[in-house]
Amino acid sequence: MNSQKANDVKPFLKLKRQTTFETSKYLNMPDLQFFNWCNQLFKVNRGIYNTIDQWFYEYGIISIYSRRIQLLAFLDSVKGELNELHSSKFLRFGHGGLTKRLNDFMKDKGKGF
């Protein structure tokens, strides 16, 4: 697979309108390709990505498929707010900010995953 095509977010945006996350080919990408795609879409670095994934796993979301859906929903929920506050290369949460936002996200969302 061509890495440029694998990391292009435009097909996802079109796909998102046509179908649900459950049938998205993006959720089935190998981990590095999925991370690169998230990096392009949300400006998330590898450390933050891994921390979020680990946090959801420890929270009890064992399925990689379900964790990726939660990861995308979380990043989508904080993207606009954090990018307005910081015009940096990557999303920044500050000391303890990521865990607080993850807890708030799950509290707001409820435990129905």
Q: At what angle do helices 31-42 and 64-85 cross, to 10 degrees?
A: 20
pTM (2 d.p.) = 0.69
Ordered mean pLDDT values, 10 residues apiece, the chain (113 residues): 45 54 77 93 90 95 92 86 56 76 84 49
Query: Residue 82: CB partners within 8 Å, gap ≥ 6?
Result: 91, 92, 93
Total count of domains within the chain: 1
pLDDT at position 18? 54
Q: Which two tokens stand for residue 50?
A: 């891994």
Looking up tokens 């509290």 gives: 107
Expressed as residue numbers, the domain containing 85 is 3-109
